[in-house]
Chains A and B, each alone.
Chain A
């Protein structure tokens, strides 16, 4: 390659301000500066992809992000240092480099997804890939600066290259979370950026006369790379589903990362399952048991109910049960995660499951923090359904506190009743009774009950009202229920000895007794 005739760039004498000696800006220089912008954008996106993937697959996002960024930047440093050893036709090096970055960076996300389940030392591959990408990306800017060296005065060169570099970084940091990940997902984002790098190589190859001698050979490599990336892009959907499926047994039919959690839907011949951050939320095979048990014992006792509040339950399945009572006029559903409620308002399969409940004109969906909302709202409800995640951390634990239940009581109309999903009285016996006792401490009459949901096991609920006027056969049940009957309700109120009441502390904001019980109760089952 030393034989390739390249226009030698003249280096201005050190310290001399020789603007006249510097070639004026031509359109090729502009092209190269444009490519700085693309390169910077892609370079940062590879880093963000690796960080996101690592935190998603390995957990502990802060640690993963920090170490990935550190490793990546360090590798970039190595790349920058290595750039001094590249000589001869710099443009040729640059084109080769762009094709290589396009392939390595572009295939990084699909490769990491694929190897995650099969390789014991996933971390090693992750960091090797991050290191390799970093080295290659680190070579880019120094190389480009050397190519542009003679075309600008040094101060202009530095100023322009870095300006485009940083603007590219800004663009990447904005489009990655706002556009690319939501629209394309990680795998296709990665492949798209790879293709952009190859396109940069292509433009350089066909716009610079110096590249003529090697256009043909490199053009072939370039087209092959672009083709490979495009094919992978086409199969990305299936690839993503396949890789998720490895972790979830059944076929993954939908995944979505919201600001709060990762939603995964899986399906086999028999059932549809929803996982939130890997925890099963429901199985379509038996969710009717859970949701009938959650809704009907309280609703049958309130034949006059008009207004209902649902806290949590963004899947709309509790609302589906509620809508079986034609006397209801208004249902407010408060769920933090708009990603969740939108999914259950738009996905055809899920709309079939929840009977389009969240699209019903009687239903108002509010995406808000439940605690704040309950404290700030001023309306009253005849019935309140509390369907929060289990109290697995201190933030959620506050939603099971006596203070929260007192705030909830402010939202309950005279004669109204609430029902609270309160984890498994079999597995987490103290946790379950702690919820019941906390409701009592908040001034409610608490009526605990439980049912069996095959995919969950024994599950518990607590009815909470200001009086004891609750009967298991107070009013008519809607037709077509598969689980709940007056006899079922009576049976659900009975607790056999292995689930019967145990003394517990009251869950207060300043003791978080429930979170501690829950940790101890579930500990043996998860570890």
Chain B
């Protein structure tokens, strides 16, 4: 009786907001009789069912008609959308380009959702203030109204203040208290503080370091970094081993570095290369007139905002719910059979050029019927992720810094949560909000982790997220109006030792016969917006170069 009455109380008092929430795929509920029994929501996986159609392409219907385009882009993540935008900028007409996306909407790892309370990210959720030398990226940001001008005196870009992350930006829950910033300070012994200081001094130095080839030791995009052996050899050993050798052994520093690697790569310091571990810090060279290099740009929808801008900056069609399969050579180029999950029809799309903006494991399947030379295998370590969007009536706060944009709990498996309402300009602080909790399922064997992730129930995910968050927010469970879960079976590439500077990555990015081009962050080894953008640009330009060669 009491538990059912409590359930009713929450439904009755808070249900108003709950009812307005947009209905999403498959409503799941938490275990009845548990403290979570009032919680329900959706459980998504990056369209696993559709993706897995590719395992048995023979079962898909034969094409009923044929279309012709100049360039077909397979995959609507950041790389694919950027390629689409770049092709338009380079002069291709809308009807000459077609993008097919397996999911019901484009965005890839930068997808976003929305309910009656707020928009919220399902994956990537910020862009660090960019290196001003990244002119192409800056041009995109200017076109999107994110970059609003240039300071006459310093020549530095000025960013839209409503998009620069508002203060307070980050906090860390450590020893029962929220401290400012994510680098552990509270209760850290002096010897470890000295290590932290030494590490960040080294990073400052590496940030300035230039190789003998005149290139920065660490730079975004990765391909702009120096090829010097002295830096490249860092890619041969695990970050953790390198840290041990350098005497960076303090538990707080190591937690922080593990957190950072898990945050960007989905894998801890033991699984990524020292080059990648250092790149995370030393490649951040953002400068702006009204922000510093540590600042980030963010939106309630996270990088879903950037995806929307990319989409809006080109006119060519995007065909969602569409699986491309059976790519094959034709006398005039290539053709892909494209199966639409909604209409259950297959269309053959003939194209002079195809850009594969897909992760390597998809690319491999799609190109199976082309000659072996078309695809150079790129084995990628890819951790699964789980993202939980919690719509809460309130967020009971512990002592210390108030709710910030990024909120991390020291010593936990997750990488914390972001507050989707952080950039709000409203005075009414109270009331429902959405927070997005991220957890990479880092394991030495991602295959096993992925299997386990797909078997974990909705209730288990919500239980795990709340069990962790309750340690910092006592009573949060009762405040949850809705919990929506996304299981990313194939999260993103982890720059394992030898990946970034190894031969496979470079080979996999090479076009084939002026017909087949590749664009994906797998080809960078680092899955961040800037790399996806760079990959898309590079592939689009290669396509154009190939076309002009063909014409000549």
Interface, chain A (partner B; CB < 8 A): 40, 44, 47, 61-63, 66-67, 69, 73-74, 76-77, 80, 138, 141-142, 162, 165-166, 169-170, 173-174, 259-260, 336, 369-372, 375, 393-396, 398-399, 401-403, 508-512, 515
Contact = CB atoms under 8 A, between A and B. Distances in A.
Contact of A169 (B8, B290, B396, B475): B8
Given A166-B8, A260-B428, A393 B402 contact: yes
B12 A170 contact: yes
Contact of B427 (A77, A162, A371, A508): A371
Interface in B435-471: none
Contacts of A40: 5
A66 B427 contact: no
18 contacts: A61-B394, A62-B394, A62-B395, A62-B396, A63-B474, A66-B474, A73-B5, A76-B2, A169-B5, A173-B12, A369-B426, A369-B427, A372-B426, A375-B425, A393-B429, A509-B161, A512-B166, A512-B167
Contacts of B426: 369, 371-372, 395
Interface residues of B, number: 35
Contacts of A169: 5, 8-9, 12
B168 interface: yes
A44 B295 CA distance: 47
Interface string B394-425: 11110000100000000000000000000001
A53 B59 CA distance: 65
A67 B475 CA distance: 8
A232 B362 CA distance: 75
A66 B4 CA distance: 16
B146 interface: no
B167 A394 contact: yes
B96 interface: no
Given A62-B397, A369-B427, 9 more contacts: A62-B396, A69-B9, A77-B2, A169-B8, A372-B426, A393-B402, A399-B427, A508-B161, A515-B167
A63 B290 CA distance: 38
Nearest to A177: B13
Contact of A510 (B2, B167, B427, B479): B167
B12 A508 contact: no
B167 A73 contact: no
| Residues of A contacting B: mostly | helix
Given A63-B475, A169-B12, A403-B162, A394 B168 contact: yes
A173 B13 contact: yes
Contacts of B13: 173
A369 B169 CA distance: 23
B1 A509 contact: no
A268 to B, nearest CB: 32
Contacts of B241: none
Given A394-B167, A510-B167, A512-B167, A73 B429 contact: no
Given A62-B394, A403-B161, A509 B428 contact: no
Contacts of B290: 508, 510
Nearest to A260: B428
Interface of B: 1-6, 8-9, 12-13, 161-162, 164-169, 290-291, 295, 394-397, 402, 425-429, 474-475, 478-479
B478 A69 contact: yes
A401 B162 CA distance: 11
Given A141-B1, A403-B161, A510-B167, A398 B425 contact: yes
Secondary structure at chain B's binding surface: helix, strand, loop or mixed? loop
B1 A76 contact: yes
B164 A509 contact: yes
A76 B1 CA distance: 9
A62 B8 contact: no
A66 B402 CA distance: 19
Contacts of A394: 166-168, 402
Contacts of B425: 369, 371-372, 375, 398
A402 B165 CA distance: 15
A142 B5 CA distance: 13
Given A66-B396, A66-B475, A174-B12, A512 B5 contact: no
Given A62-B394, A69-B9, A403-B162, A396 B427 contact: yes
Contacts of A170: 8, 12
Contact of A138 (B2, B6, B162, B396): B2
Q: Report the 7 A-B pairs with minimum CB-CB distance, sorted nearest first.
A: A512-B167, A66-B475, A371-B425, A403-B161, A173-B12, A62-B396, A510-B164
B158 to A, nearest CB: 12
Contacts of A80: 1-2
Contacts of A372: 425-426
A510 B5 contact: no
B12 to A, nearest CB: 4
Nearest to B393: A62
A402 B166 CA distance: 12
Given A66-B396, A395-B429, A74 B164 contact: no
Nearest to A404: B425
A441 B546 CA distance: 50
B326 to A, nearest CB: 50
B478 A66 contact: yes
A336 B425 CA distance: 13
A323 to B, nearest CB: 26
A76 B169 contact: no
B466 to A, nearest CB: 14
Contacts of B2: 73-74, 76-77, 80, 138
A402 B9 contact: no
Nearest to A141: B1
B289 to A, nearest CB: 11
Nearest to B291: A510
Nearest to B479: A62
A304 to B, nearest CB: 32
A173 B9 CA distance: 7
Contacts of A77: 1-2
Given A62-B394, A76-B1, A509-B164, A44 B9 contact: yes
B12 A142 contact: no
A142 B162 CA distance: 56
B522 to A, nearest CB: 33
Contacts of A141: 1
A170 B11 CA distance: 9
Contacts of A142: 1
Contacts of A375: 425
A237 to B, nearest CB: 28
Given A62-B475, A393-B429, A510 B161 contact: yes
A372 B426 CA distance: 7
Contacts of B479: 62, 66
A398 to B, nearest CB: 6
Contacts of B169: 510
A81 to B, nearest CB: 10
A74 B35 CA distance: 13
Contact of A73 (B6, B165, B395): B6
A249 B74 CA distance: 73
A194 to B, nearest CB: 20
Contacts of A165: 5, 8
B154 to A, nearest CB: 15
Contacts of B291: 510
Contacts of A395: 426-427, 429
A259 B396 CA distance: 19
A370 B426 CA distance: 8
Nearest to A77: B2
